[in-house]
Amino acid sequence: MQDSKLTQWQGFGITVLRVVTGQIFLTSGVAHLLMEDPSQIGVPVPSPIFIVGSLLELLCGAALVVGLLTRWASTPLAFSMLVDILLIHPPHGFFVQAGFFVEDMGFEYTLLRLAACTALALAGPGKLAIDNIMATRKGPR
């Protein structure tokens, strides 16, 4: 396969990663904001911090879905996942157990979300994104 074709397919692959990652964060943020009581999932953080984290997931997730400010949106999400791994999941190990509460959760899923956000922060938005339209309008540097 020619290098240009390979590069084009890589761009579409990054687009798929960005949209799916964004949708996961967007959905998670909405679900958290609709909860009446954050303690029902066993999150050991104060409500204001939980709400800010949920808004971060919602807004940055939505930005990723459409490819708007991809690197900027991925960075706080990656940082949030790192904090989640270091502060919430350590006593539970790596693997997710068969349950819904944080007490049952390892950090494997959070680590995957961290890796996806880090990859997007490094690689950019992929082939189909509002970022690309904005870059075209700015013109060459």
The residue-averaged pLDDT of 120-135 equals: 92
Q: How far apart are CA 123 and CA 126, in angstroms?
A: 7
Query: Contact, 116 vs 15, CB < 8 A?
Result: no
> How many Å apart are CA 23 and CA 75, to the nearest integer?
16
Residue 81, classed as helix, strand or coil, is: helix
Band of pLDDT at residue 66, cut at 50, 70 and 90: very high
Length of the chain: 141
Confidence of residue 68 (pLDDT cuts 50, 70, 90): very high
115: alpha, beta or left, given left = phi > 0 and alpha = psi -120 to 50? alpha
